[in-house]
Structure 1
Amino acid sequence: MGGACSRKRDLLDEDALHRSGRYSKSSSAKWLLLTLPRCNSNVSVREQGKCPSLMDLCLAKVREDIKKYGSFSVLPRDISQLIFNELVTSHCLNDVSLEAFRDCALQDILIGEYPGVKDGWIGIVSSQGESLLSLDISCSDVTDTGLSLLKKCPNVQSLKCNYCDQISDYGLGHLSGLSNLTSLSFKRSNAITADGMRAFTNLVNLVNLDLERCLKIHGGLVHLKDLKKLESLNIKYCNCITDADIGSISGLTSLKELQMSCCKITDAGTTQLKGLSKLAHLNLEGCPLTAACLKVISGFPSMMFLNLSRCSISDDGSENFSALQKLKVLQKLKVLNLGFNNISDACLVHLKDLINLESLNFDSCSIGNEGLLNLKGLLKLKSLELSDTGVGSNGLSHLSGLSNLESINLSFTSVTDGGLRKLSGLTSIKSLNLDSRLITDAGLAAITSLTGLTHLDLFGARITDFGTNYLKHFKNLQSLELCGGFITDAGVKNIKDLKSLTQLNLSQNSHLTDKTLELISGLTGLTSLNVSNSRITNTGLRHLKPLKNLRLLTLESCKVTANEMKKLQLSALPNLLSVRPE
């Protein structure tokens, strides 16, 4: 949050700030130490076991005594900013404590998803005046009335109003004077229509505009045609957008990123993008396209990210083969997603010259072992998605030279334990997904050389308690899914020492008991835990009390009650946001 004292900004009149007494000097911390009460030695700090800095101690003390302070306006701005950020992070900001920040010249007020934000809060926000540079009120109850108060903050550069359903076209009109805005986001704002987008016409300095899931903006893109500095436009999941809208943005020659997933854009629509020569990031996932669109896409020499997943691209004819071959000219391409298309082995020959590829997705395509031969030269490849393809154990031998590979998904393939041995030399792998009933303890033994693994998904694999012994080789594991149904409390003993774990899924193992919760009670870094379909009872819940970082807890089909889980949440797990069953 914030961090104002470390950033250089161009729009502020520093002389005016000095005249008002709001300084931003390196001696601010010393000033705070002289003016705040002495901190008690028992002040709690966020990271137990680590020596806190003097600033941490001061902020903790202010948070503890927040009711004693009526105003922070006399403090240096960077200190006020740090105190504000601390209250937001610790969820201690409310209607009363917020009042202390009136006229504090804060630069950043990032309260997106914070509970209770409403029009009254914007009065305090607007009191920051010309100092305010960044505001996030996403998921709030702010209305058009609240938005009108931002006229007092003409230097705002970044504004996020995602999921603000009470802001309408009328509210957008209040933004037309904020000509210094460079970044504006209104994700999933259903009240915004094409007519309301007239307010964007004057925002000539906009660089980033996010209108994801705004479902009533068909015809509104015409109001963007003069935003010549626009580099990024997100209209994903706006299924109202059609080919007729694309002509309105064809002249935005500064565009580098265009997100249009699940819009109604066809091959004809893509032809109107020809002039966007700087386009480097193009997302057309789920659009009704064919391979013919690649003729246009091949004309973007700066293209680095291309997502054509879930389109209607096929390689079943000579004309389409010719179109796919056009991709060869995109030598800067780093990320290519062709998942859920009718792509076969014959298609992959057209990709072997894209030697700068770092990520390649063939999820649910019709490729097999022979097609992987064309990937041998992609030595920069870091991520490879082969889920639900015809790839088997023999095909993995073609990947043996990809020494930079960090992530590979082999779920729902015919890869067996023996095939996994062919991955043993790829020691850069950090993420491995092996959802398959074909994988057993022997497969886990075959990959023990991959000691850098941080994510291991064995959902559905037939790993037994004996096989969990091999997990000791993966000391860096942060995420583990082991849901085949063969694990008992005895196997969990081999998991309890994986201290780096933040996500653990042991669901579907019906023999696990309360003993499992006792065993993992030392994994204090866990943020997500799933032990559904087990024999866990209300009695075992007490073992979860040390897991203070837990945010997601799932115990579906266990012998626990929603009432007892709620008690646990209120009494011992303050960070728990999602509990199932509720």
Structure 2
Amino acid sequence: MQKNRVVVGFDLRGSCFIPTSSTKSMEDNSLLVTNTDDLSDQNMDDLPDHLLWIIFSRLTVASDLNSISQVSKRFYELERRCRNSLKVKCGLHPVDLALSSLCSRFINLRKVEIDYAGWVAKYGKQLDDNGLKIIASLCPDLQEVGLRFCTFITDVGLGHLASCKGLQAVRFNFVPSITGCGLLSIVTGCKNLSVMHLTLCLHVNSAEWLYFLGRLQNIEDLAIRQCKGISESDLARLGQAWCRLRRFQFQVDVNHRYMKTYGLLGLNGWPDQDVDCEMLEELKLINCLINPNRGLGCILPKCKHLVRLHLDMCMGLRDRDLVHLAMSSTGLKYLSLRCPSDFSLSVPANYSPQLSDESLKAIAKYCIILEEVSISFADGCYPFVPCFSLEGILALVEGCHMLKALVLDRVYAFNDYGMEALCVAHALERLELIQCPEVSDDGMQLIRHLPSLKHVRVSKCLGISDEGLAAFMGSDKLESLKIEDCPKISEKGTQGLAKMVQFRCDLSWLY
């Protein structure tokens, strides 16, 4: 049985007519017309791009395509893309042909995100360089590209993406086959690039792309996470781009740092450099080396507009760094500090961390609009060196009257006296206590009258039992209560304490 089709006619003056009656199309991507009377006098210029694309793709005579391209600039551009589509489709693998057809349907595509699991589930094979070539050829107006766990993508594929001149954001998560050469092609080809996120790109070891990225001075959001070929000293190549950055994240692979860096890159090994980073609003550093007046140590005192700060296991961080930062970043709203508490490997002989309550008191004094605070220590029984005490934490709580969230993780100095001090935090909405063994039932009963408290999380706390949580019974104040791995708290003891309760009891951490 022959399939019905809609026959669409048109003339070069731009008027569209339908010489046949309305029929339902049985072919994919064919045009379905529901009311021919309404469309009989419609101008071709009024049709959306995807319909015009379908019409143009049905033309096979070169002279017709040439005539179409002369009607208007819009028709010329669409016809050019249609020809490119036909060229790309020749001799393709069936999977690539499906990708080509998909891109042809969305010729104005602006954003592409490809995940390994979803892509393989749909097409049966990984995305490769040829797939990126198809996407770049048929969707030249791409602005954002995201690739996750695409192990078949190489520098050749990134070279294809470089042809998308309007590309503004690239996010690569575990694309291990690309190198600095591929990134260099994107940086030099896409002059409007403002967002770049690299995570677990293990073979990116050339810093030339950082130099050219800095020369563009358009980058506003840069994240480099666990790319072991890039060290803190390479970041100096950004040059004047620092003055445009608004968000910056840098995470060193912890295995790479502890196993290699101490022998190859000392705390005093960086060259002097002057970094202008006054526009930074968000700064996140993980497993980094902080050296006074060098490298990343130049950043902290110069952040005048910082809103969010996350410092996780930053070696060499001192009171002086945090005090200067607090004095300049008075608009800070989010602070997360994770400090080392134990070292399984030897540390440099000249390493002498100098974090104390002075840092927290300075933050309480200058950053009075602080809303979220997270203080934690790394795995270990007790702090390796003297650090924050209960006095400093209480100064922070009492000085920041707008504090809405407090997270304490392995802060062994925090006890019931600290819980009593929290009673002055009238704006506190969320409290998380993780492995704080000195907090008991008495401490939990002290905070039951906090007027704004809505969310409570208690994890691996040995001193809190059902009796301590019973203080919230009948208050109808808590919206969520999360209990994790606390040996003295039962699931029955959490019932009726909050609108949403999550309970888990896995005591393997005790053994």
| Offset at residue 73 of structure 1 (A) | 5.2
Q: Hey, what's the Cα distance between the residues in 2 that align with 1:475 and 1:330?
A: 34
Alignment pair present for 1:425 and 2:438: no
Q: Hey, what's the Cα distance between the residues in 1 that align with 2:455 and 2:442?
A: 20
Residue-by-residue CA offset, 1:420-472 (whole Å, 9 max, x unaligned): 332333463323215334444433433333553434114133345xx616514
What does residue 140 of structure 2 align with?
Answer: 130
Percentage identity across aligned positions?
Answer: 19
Alignment pair present for 1:454 and 2:491: no
Alignment pair present for 1:326 and 2:336: no
Segments of 5+ residues of structure 2 without an aligned counterpart are: 1-13, 17-27, 35-50, 56-93, 121-125, 341-352, 378-385
- From the CA coordinates, give the structure whose radius of gyration is larger: 2
What does residue 151 of structure 1 align with?
Answer: 162
Cα 1:306–1:407 shift into 2, 3 Å: closer
SS class of match (2:189)? coil
Cα 1:232–1:246 shift into 2, 3 Å: farther
TM-score under structure 1 length normalisation: 0.56
- 1:108-119 → structure 2 map (5 Å cutoff): 108-113=111-116, 114=118, 115=120, 116-119=126-129
Asked if the contact 1:178–1:203 (Cα under 8 Å) also holds between the matched residues in 2, the reply is no
State how many pairs are aligned.
379
Asked if the contact 1:179–1:202 (Cα under 8 Å) also holds between the matched residues in 2, the reply is no
Alignment pair present for 1:208 and 2:209: no
- 1:493-572 → structure 2 map (5 Å cutoff): none
What does residue 313 of structure 2 align with?
Answer: 286
| Offset at residue 109 of structure 1 (A) | 0.8
SS class of match (1:186)? strand
What does residue 102 of structure 1 align with?
Answer: 103
Q: Hey, what's the Cα distance between the residues in 2 that align with 1:197 and 1:399?
A: 46
| Offset at residue 136 of structure 1 (A) | 0.4
Cα 1:277–1:178 shift into 2, 3 Å: same
Q: Say which of 244, 261, 264 aligns to 2:289.
A: 264
Asked if the contact 2:483–2:504 (Cα under 8 Å) also holds between the matched residues in 1, the reply is yes
SS class of match (1:131)? coil
Residue-by-residue CA offset, 1:268-291 (whole Å, 9 max, x unaligned): 436633444334434332222222
Q: Hey, what's the Cα distance between the residues in 2 that align with 1:349 and 1:305?
A: 17
Cα 1:460–1:164 shift into 2, 3 Å: same
Q: Hey, what's the Cα distance between the residues in 2 that align with 1:246 and 1:282?
A: 25
Asked if the contact 1:300–1:330 (Cα under 8 Å) also holds between the matched residues in 2, the reply is no
What does residue 561 of structure 1 align with?
Answer: none
Alignment pair present for 1:222 and 2:236: yes
| Offset at residue 100 of structure 1 (A) | 1.6
Q: Hey, what's the Cα distance between the residues in 2 that align with 1:324 and 1:445?
A: 33
What does residue 235 of structure 1 align with?
Answer: 250
Q: Say which of 288, 297, 312 aligns to 2:325.
A: 297
Cα 1:172–1:34 shift into 2, 3 Å: closer
Q: Hey, what's the Cα distance between the residues in 2 that align with 1:73 and 1:162?
A: 34
Alignment pair present for 1:397 and 2:420: yes
Segments of 5+ residues of structure 1 without an aligned counterpart are: 1-18, 22-31, 39-70, 76-92, 356-377, 485-506, 509-582
SS class of match (1:339)? strand
| Offset at residue 171 of structure 1 (A) | 0.9
Q: Say which of 284, 304, 307 aligns to 1:277.
A: 304
What does residue 440 of structure 2 align with?
Answer: 416
Q: Hey, what's the Cα distance between the residues in 1 that align with 2:52 and 2:269?
A: 53
Cα 1:231–1:313 shift into 2, 3 Å: same
Asked if the contact 2:398–2:425 (Cα under 8 Å) also holds between the matched residues in 1, the reply is no
Q: Hey, what's the Cα distance between the residues in 2 that align with 1:392 and 1:275?
A: 35
Cα 1:95–1:292 shift into 2, 3 Å: same
SS class of match (1:432)? strand
Q: Hey, what's the Cα distance between the residues in 2 that align with 1:235 and 1:185?
A: 10
SS class of match (2:324)? helix
Cα 1:305–1:460 shift into 2, 3 Å: closer
Which piece of structure 1 moves more, 126-135 or 326-335?
326-335
Q: Hey, what's the Cα distance between the residues in 1 that align with 2:95 and 2:498?
A: 44
Cα 1:143–1:425 shift into 2, 3 Å: same
| Offset at residue 395 of structure 1 (A) | 4.3
* Equivalent position amino acid for 1:432 in 2: R
Cα 1:74–1:223 shift into 2, 3 Å: farther
TM-score under structure 2 length normalisation: 0.64
SS class of match (1:102)? helix
What does residue 65 of structure 2 align with?
Answer: none
| Offset at residue 183 of structure 1 (A) | 0.4
Asked if the contact 1:72–1:100 (Cα under 8 Å) also holds between the matched residues in 2, the reply is no
| Offset at residue 332 of structure 1 (A) | 4.0
| Offset at residue 393 of structure 1 (A) | 4.0
Q: Hey, what's the Cα distance between the residues in 2 that align with 1:250 and 1:197?
A: 15
Cα 1:180–1:272 shift into 2, 3 Å: same
